[in-house]
Amino acid sequence: MKYGSTVSSPRDYATTIEHTKAALKEYGFGVLCEIDVAKTLKEKIGAEMEPYIILGACNPGFAHKALQVEPDLGLLLPCNVVVMQQGGKVFVKAIDAHAMLGVTGNPDLTATAAEVNTLLAKALNDSVA
């Protein structure tokens, strides 16, 4: 995947969500919002899909730092983390901050993106450990 990373979870879907939230918190990310995509699509258009939730994760320190450099960055925040079930397997996925922040064309965000990616990678690995 060019714009994110994925890890496979040995746990069930609901437990993986809880472990992912705890791991994000451990690395300074709060979950600002949760979007149950499967439930929403079922309610709105009757579409059936396997469990899929988007966790809108934000590390306040990095968000503040990046917004100081690029005030319109709020259009790209928060960092999305997905927990999904596919074919009986559970996966945790996170946005690549370089890909996300790269659309700004602002090289001053490169170091911040690298730091965010490091922490998100740790959180993903811990979420399935």
The contacts found for 71-79 with CB under 8 angstroms, 24 or more apart, are 72/104, 73/101, 73/104, 73/109, 76/100, 76/101, 76/103, 76/104, 78/32, 78/33, 79/29, 79/116, 79/120
What pTM does this model have? Answer: 0.95
| pLDDT for position 43 | 98
Domains in the chain: ranges and CATH:
4-127 (3.30.310.70)
| pLDDT for position 94 | 98
| pLDDT for position 83 | 98
* 49-89 residue pLDDT tens: 999 999 999 999 999 999 999 999 999 999 999 999 999 99
| pLDDT for position 78 | 96
